[in-house]
Amino acid sequence: MAGRIIVTGGAGFIGSNIVRALNARGRDDVLVVDRLGRDAKWRNLLGTTVTDVLHKDTFRRLIRDDALGDDVTAVIHMGACSATTETDADYLLDNNTRYTRELCAWCLRHDVRFIYASSAATYGDGRRGYDDDPARLPDLRPLNMYGFSKHLFDLWAWREGLLDRIVGLKFFNVYGPGEDHKGEMRSVIHKAYGQILEHGRVRLFRSYRPEYPDGGQVRDFVFVDDAVAVTLFFLDHPELGGIYNCGTGKARTWLDLARGVFAAMGREPEIEFIDMPPELRDRYQYHTEADLARLRAAGYDRPFTELEDGIRAYVERHLGHPDGPFGGRR
């Protein structure tokens, strides 16, 4: 592939892992777009080779002015506000929906491959299933404004007839190195590791639905290496388009996750159940599980990492290893 690859959100969690994977392929002509601010997110780029790091607002102006240049091969758009607790709807609509529309339109005008991050949050409570057939999009009811902002772009791309030319990935619960800066939005694996070090136990939310015991709520946990592999598969296959789930297709409980962290740390499990904040109880997903039929039909045949194996790799590569590729737990 001739020409630069742009990774928006390239200093963030999934984005920085994509940058590293591109470098591992010998690609150093990568432009990172992000808003670094004053936190430690910049550390995710340590050890990478990129041509520049451009502020998101500057990049957006270049897109609007059509002044980015004609040497771009692909845009991998991971940049977004991913906080499921964010309540500023106007901000989310501008940052997650309109920005993505502008970038998509620019890519299509310039024949640039466009791959973007959607989210499993678009599925809402899951009662309508996890079928990623675009014809099912109008049926979905996200539970929070973040999911709605992602859903609106998916709907727009479908209604405009663009999904044969672009790829959207509905990421499920991604975990792994590079998420330290995400605060409360980092994975429970990251949080659990810190809780075990400090208190010797893990705290999980109680269930408020009788069909799920405490800790029996289930999610589809996907290791970041797999999220990157799926993304690069579609980079390598520009003939493919559509929206695809990116998860393991195998739901696991929060108890499985907590026990996996204890095992990776060589400790006996000690788990405490706590009340869920009232404001989350009506917006909480009790069950997520990716339907992988369309992803497999598209030709992606690589197996996904088992939860315990991913947790062990995460602890050994990063959380318990300060000299790891992301500089250790911060």
Q: Which two tokens stand for residue 260?
A: 């996996």
Q: Can you tell me the distance from the alpha carbon of 228 to that of 225, in angstroms, rounded to the nearest whole number?
A: 5
DSSP calls for 100-126:
HHHHHHHHHHTT-EEEEEEEGGGGTTS
Q: Examine the pLDDT at 329 and tell me if it is beyond 50.
A: no
| Residue 132 lies in domain | 4-172+223-247+291-304
Residue 154 lies in a domain: yes
pLDDT digits (tens, 9 = 90+) for 44-83: 999 999 999 999 999 999 999 999 888 999 999 999 988 8
Q: Which pTM does this prediction carry? A: 0.94
Write the single-letter amino acid at 327: G
Q: Can you give the pLDDT at residue 230? A: 98
| 42 touches 15 (CB < 8 A) | no
The average pLDDT across 293-316 equals: 97
Alpha-carbon distance of 245 to 19, in angstroms, equals 21
Better pLDDT: 244 or 37: 244
Q: Which long-range contacts (CB under 8 A, 24 or more apart) does 34-43 make?
A: 34/8, 34/9, 34/10, 34/79, 36/11, 39/181, 40/180, 40/181, 40/330, 41/11, 41/12, 41/181, 42/11, 43/180, 43/326, 43/327, 43/330
pLDDT digits (tens, 9 = 90+) for 244-275: 999 999 999 999 999 999 999 999 999 999 99
Q: How far apart are CA 31 and CA 54, in angstroms?
A: 7
Dist CA 97 CA 101 (whole Å): 6
Write out the catalytic residue numbers: 146, 182
**Is 107 within a domain?**
yes
CATH code of residue 40: 3.40.50.720
Q: Which residue has the higher pLDDT, 170 or 181?
A: 170
pLDDT of residue 39: 84
Task: Please identify which residue in the block is written with the tokens 């639905």.
Answer: 209
| 127 located within any domain | yes
**Extended beta strands in 120-216, E state:** 167-171, 173-175, 202-205
What is the residue-averaged pLDDT of the chain? 94
| CB of 246 closer than 8 Å to CB of 295 | yes
In a domain, residue 92? The reply is yes
C-beta separation of 169 from 116 below 8 A: yes
Q: What is the mean pLDDT of residues 168-181?
A: 95
Burial class (CB in 10 A: 0-12, 13-18, 19+), 132: buried
- Rounded mean pLDDT of 160-183? 95
Task: Let me know if residue 13 belongs to a domain.
Answer: yes
Retrieve residue 326's tokens. Answer: 């992301």
Number of domains in the chain: 1
253 inside domain: no
Q: Is 319 part of any domain?
A: no
CA of residue 145 relative to chain centroid, distance? 16
